[in-house]
Structure 1
Amino acid sequence: MPRIFLAALALACVCFPAVAQAVATAPADTTSVTLSAAPWIALLQEIVITAVIPAVAAYAIQAIRKVYPWAALFLTQSRVEQMANAVTEYAINAVPGAVKEGKLSINVGSQVIAKAVQRAVDAAPAKAIEAAGGQAGLAEIVFRKLNLEDDANEHNTLAPVIASLPATAR
């Protein structure tokens, strides 16, 4: 109830000068009073500009803050996947004996992984490599993307590549 009273009081305080001006400027010899809508529209515009727009902007900023971490995570994962796909395709095309559709042997798989990681170091932004877990993390992602022979595993295909990486890159 007090809010309604305060709102009515504020409206009366704001509207009274406009009504008083309209009455005061009316010619004395007429018996009718004409109110113009222009002051009301200007008042409404001022209220919207000073109160409504900042409130809507505050709610929008709050919503963006809540969504930002999820959006950033999604974009980072998407960027890492794109980079991993690109360097894997490059490495398969660059290593002799590597074929896209067939299975790769242990030696060729290790060469493809090493070539893919080197390509990422040469061409990709450092932040993308860091988001992938460094060079070792990227090597693991590329390893998972490859179609390897049945006897190829993490120990005989991936481990030699990670061991050959510089100690600062692991």
Structure 2
Amino acid sequence: MVRVLVLSTLIAAMISIVAGPAFAAEFAADTTSVTLSAAPWISLLQEIVITAVIPAVAAYAIQAIRKVYPWAALFLTQARVEQMANAVTEYAINAVPGAVKEGKLSINVGSAVIAKAVQRAVDAAPAKALEAAGGQAGLAEIVFRKLSLEDGANEGNTLAPVVARLPAANR
């Protein structure tokens, strides 16, 4: 019987030691409260991102731009030359009598269209775009390739006379 009494006293003591603070906190006034705030953690994470991640991402982005820049510049330059060539060709077809958009052009009309397109580019296009096209002779070749010419027209009898009339400094 003494053993049961000692054992029950020990169990009661252990329960009071373990559960006592919980019961005391429940019955006592709320003088101790623990609040966990995420603000310091968010602030710390923000500092890490600002000081480490953003510069690293920017460095990788700059490196990627440096590797792609020559290709991008080449693509943009080619697109600009193509746009200029289309514009001056359309202008020249509309400006030269006898030239039609859908039909085939004769040798004389084709040469006149090429000459008019090159002159329009010299007058209106930016010098860098004309230079990127290969100068006046290069632009004349691009316009020649864009035209639909009759079967007898070729580079020798349609393009060569126009290139020969260009000023020597601009060829």
| TM-score bracket, shorter-length normalisation | 0.7 to 0.9
Equivalent residue of 1:149, what SS? coil
Partner of 1:48: 49
Equivalent residue of 2:77, what SS? helix
Work out the CA distance in 2 between the residues paired with 1:112 and 1:53: 55
| TM-fit CA distance, 1:45 | 1.4
Partner of 2:38: 37
Partner of 1:82: 83
Equivalent residue of 2:148, what SS? coil
Work out the CA distance in 2 between the residues paired with 1:33 and 1:147: 85
- What amino acid is the match of 1:112? V
The worse-fitting range, judged by mean Cα deviation, of 32-41 and 135-144 is 32-41
Equivalent residue of 1:68, what SS? helix
Work out the CA distance in 1 between the residues paired with 2:141 and 2:151: 17
Query: Structure 1 length normalisation: TM-score?
Result: 0.77
| TM-fit CA distance, 1:33 | 6.4
| TM-fit CA distance, 1:70 | 1.5
1:16-40 C-alpha deviation (Å, 9 max, x unpaired):
xxxxxxxxxxxxxx88766543333
Partner of 1:130: 131
Work out the CA distance in 2 between the residues paired with 1:36 and 1:100: 73
Query: Structure 2 length normalisation: TM-score?
Result: 0.77
In the alignment, is residue 149 of structure 1 matched against residue 138 of structure 2? no
- What amino acid is the match of 2:42? I
Query: How many residues are treated as equivalent by the alignment?
Result: 141
1:132-152 C-alpha deviation (Å, 9 max, x unpaired):
100000000000111111111
Partner of 1:57: 58
Work out the CA distance in 2 between the residues paired with 1:116 and 1:46: 59
Identity of aligned residues (%): 92
- The verdict on how the C-alpha distance between 1:162 and 1:31 changes in structure 2, with shifts beyond 3 A counting, is same
Work out the CA distance in 1 between the residues paired with 2:154 and 2:65: 43
- The verdict on how the C-alpha distance between 1:36 and 1:97 changes in structure 2, with shifts beyond 3 A counting, is closer
| TM-fit CA distance, 1:42 | 1.9
- Could you tell me which runs of 5 or more consecutive residues in structure 2 were left unpaired when the two chains were aligned: 1-30
| TM-fit CA distance, 1:41 | 2.4
- Could you tell me which runs of 5 or more consecutive residues in structure 1 were left unpaired when the two chains were aligned: 1-29
Partner of 2:141: 140
Work out the CA distance in 2 between the residues paired with 1:83 and 1:52: 43
- What amino acid is the match of 1:159? A
- The verdict on how the C-alpha distance between 1:34 and 1:147 changes in structure 2, with shifts beyond 3 A counting, is closer
Work out the CA distance in 2 between the residues paired with 1:81 and 1:34: 67
